[in-house]
């Protein structure tokens, strides 16, 4: 950030009074421009013993497989966002289940939240951000072609929990550069 979005003056990096972190500050109007993590919300849509995956049509990671997920919108509850993303990316109707995973993705300043979900039917189709959508059993998951580490971790935990017959809420941290 170079210029204040409130008054247009040049921004400086400094620790504001009463704070302990370097922030983007405007010396002209006094605005402090906080930059906080972005929230990604999604689902693990299940039909019998299969999980619905989407092949991404957009960057980042176009052509790779993912769960239905995307950025939470302002004024939207995480559950609403997860349902919306599932509809937008796969045209899938779901019954939203409980929170399943919340993963801090430090290197890209994001938090990824996934809910378990039950598909209400198998009438789904790729949305504008998906090239293809398909149901996969655990042994059919394209593990080497998953778009994001959070998706791989969430799916691994999901199948482990399903094998145990009990589902928990999982948290974790990912702090590595992808594909470096």
- Could you tell me the residue ranges of all domains in the chain? 1-35, 38-174
Identify the pLDDT of residue 180. Answer: 44
Best CA proximity match to 46, nearest among 17, 26, 67: 67
Identify the pLDDT of residue 176. Answer: 80
Please name the fold of domain 1-35: Ubiquitin Ligase Nedd4; Chain: W; (2.20.70)
The average pLDDT across 144-154 equals: 98
Please name the fold of domain 38-174: Nucleoside Triphosphate Pyrophosphohydrolase (3.90.79)
Per-residue model confidence as pLDDT tens digits over 45-69: 999 999 999 999 999 999 999 999 9
The average pLDDT across 111-120 equals: 98
Q: How is the beta sheet containing 32-33 ordered, strand by strand?
A: 11-14, 23-26, 32-33
Token pair for 174: 């990912």
* Residue 145 predicted with pLDDT over 70: yes
Using an 8 Å Cβ cutoff, are 6 and 31 in contact?
yes
Q: What is the pTM of this model?
A: 0.91
Per-residue model confidence as pLDDT tens digits over 63-107: 999 999 999 999 999 999 999 999 999 999 999 999 999 999 999
Looking at every residue in the chain, the average pLDDT score rounds to 96
């Amino acid at each position: 950030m170079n210029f204040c979005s409130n008054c247009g003056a040049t921004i400086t990096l400094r620790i504001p009074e009463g704070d302990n972190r370097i922030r983007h500050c405007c010396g002209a109007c006094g605005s402090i421009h906080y930059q906080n993590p972005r929230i990604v919300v999604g689902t693990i849509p299940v039909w019998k013993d299969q999980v619905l995956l989407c092949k991404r049509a957009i960057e980042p990671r176009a052509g790779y497989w993912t769960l239905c997920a995307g950025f939470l919108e302002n004024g939207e509850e995480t559950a609403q966002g997860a349902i919306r993303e599932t509809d937008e990316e796969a045209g899938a109707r779901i019954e939203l289940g409980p929170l399943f995973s919340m993963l801090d993705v430090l290197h890209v300043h994001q938090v990824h939240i996934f809910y378990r979900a039950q598909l209400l039917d198998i009438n789904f189709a790729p949305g504008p951000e998906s090239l293809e959508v398909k149901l996969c059993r655990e042994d059919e998951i394209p593990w080497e072609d998953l778009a994001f580490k959070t998706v791989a971790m969430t799916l691994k935990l999901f199948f482990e929990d399903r094998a145990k017959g009990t589902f928990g809420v999982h948290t974790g941290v990912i702090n590595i550069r992808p594909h470096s």
